[in-house]
Structure 1
Amino acid sequence: MPDPRAGGARPLGRRRLWLALVTLLALTGGGVAVTALATPSKAPAGDTDTKGPPPATAPVTRGDLTDSSSRDGTLGHLGERKINAGGPGGTLTWLAPAGSVVERDERLYEVDGEAVRLMYGDEPMYRTLKAGDKGKDVRQLEENLAALGHTGFDVDEEYTDRTAAAVKRWQKSHDLKQTGTVGPDRIAFAGSAVRVKEAGPDAGAGGQGRIAPGDRLATGTPVLTVTGSERVVTFDVPAAEAATARTGTKVTVTLPDGTRLPGRVTAVGRTATAGDDPQDKTPKIDVTVSFDDPGEVKGVDQSPVTVELTGETRRDVLSVPVNALLALPDGGFGVQVVENGTTRDVRVELGMFARGRVEVSGDGLSAGAKVGVPS
Structure 2
Amino acid sequence: MSATDTGGGTHGRQPGPDPEPGSDLRTDSVSRRRRAVPRGRRGPLLIGVAVAVAAVAVGGAIGLDPGGDEDLPSGGRGGTSVEVTRRTLVDQTAVDGTLGHGPEIPLPVKATGTVTWLPQQGDRITRGATVLRVDDRPVTLLYGALPMYRDLGPGGPSTPDTSSGSSTAKGADDANDAEKGTDGPAQTPGPDTADAPQGTAGTDTAGSTGGTGSTGMDVRQFETNLAALGYIDFTVDDRYTAKTAAAVKRWQKHLGVPETGRIAVGDVVYTSGRITVGRVAVRVGAQASPEALGYTGGERRVTVEASAQDGAWAVRGTRVTVEVPGGEPVEGRVRSVSREMRSAEGADPEGGGKAEGAQDVTFTVTIRLLDQSAIGRTESAPVTVRYVSDRKAGVLAVPVAALVALAEGGHGLERAGAEGGFVAVRTGLFAEGMVEVSGRGVRAGMKVRVPE
Aligned equivalent of 2:218, options 132, 137, 152: 137
- Other structure's SS at 2:230 match: coil
Aligned residue identity for 2:369: F
Deviations 1:281-340 (A, max 9, x none): 3233432222221123236544211112245363574223178253674x7x43141646
TM-score, L = length of structure 2: 0.60
Aligned counterpart, 1:71: 95
Aligned counterpart, 2:354: none
8 Å CA contact retained: 1:85, 1:217: no
Aligned residue identity for 2:71: D
- Other structure's SS at 2:421 match: strand
Residue 123 (str. 1) matches residue 146 (str. 2) = yes
Aligned counterpart, 1:197: 278
Aligned equivalent of 1:309, options 387, 401, 404: 387
Identify, as 1 or 2, the structure richer in strand. 1
Aligned residue identity for 1:103: T
Aligned counterpart, 2:437: 360
Residue 360 to residue 255, structure 1, CA distance change in 2 (3 Å): same
8 Å CA contact retained: 1:126, 1:183: no
Aligned residue identity for 1:183: A
Aligned equivalent of 2:412, options 329, 335, 338: 335
Aligned counterpart, 1:344: 421
Q: Comparing both chains, which one has the higher relative contact order based on Cα–Cα distances under 8 Å and sequence gaps of 6 or more?
A: 1
Aligned counterpart, 1:260: 329
- Other structure's SS at 2:146 match: coil
8 Å CA contact retained: 2:327, 2:375: no
Aligned counterpart, 2:256: 175
Aligned residue identity for 2:421: R
User: How much has 1:250 moved relative to structure 2?
Assistant: 3.0
Q: Matches of 2:448 and 2:62 in 1, distance apart?
A: 22
- Other structure's SS at 2:94 match: strand
For structure 1, the residue ranges without an aligned partner over 5 or more in a row are: 17-46, 203-210
Aligned counterpart, 1:114: 137
How many residue pairs were aligned? 325
- Other structure's SS at 2:312 match: helix
Identity across aligned pairs (percent)? Answer: 31
Aligned counterpart, 1:208: none
Residue 287 (str. 1) matches residue 287 (str. 2) = no
Aligned residue identity for 1:131: P
User: How much has 1:113 moved relative to structure 2?
Assistant: 3.7
Aligned residue identity for 1:68: Q
**Cα RMSD over matched residues?**
3.9
Larger radius of gyration: 2
Aligned counterpart, 1:96: 119
Residue 322 to residue 353, structure 1, CA distance change in 2 (3 Å): farther
Aligned residue identity for 1:283: V
Aligned counterpart, 1:244: 313
For structure 2, the residue ranges without an aligned partner over 5 or more in a row are: 1-23, 30-59, 162-216, 348-356
- Other structure's SS at 1:149 match: coil
Aligned counterpart, 1:324: 403
Q: Matches of 1:230 and 1:15 in 2, distance apart?
A: 60
8 Å CA contact retained: 1:171, 1:178: yes
Q: Matches of 1:272 and 1:223 in 2, distance apart?
A: 26
Residue 360 to residue 341, structure 1, CA distance change in 2 (3 Å): same
Aligned counterpart, 1:34: none
Deviations 1:57-90 (A, max 9, x none): 7855635532112111100114432225432312
Residue 262 to residue 340, structure 1, CA distance change in 2 (3 Å): same
8 Å CA contact retained: 1:270, 1:285: yes
Aligned counterpart, 2:111: 87
User: How much has 1:231 moved relative to structure 2?
Assistant: 1.0
User: How much has 1:192 moved relative to structure 2?
Assistant: 1.5
User: How much has 1:255 moved relative to structure 2?
Assistant: 1.1
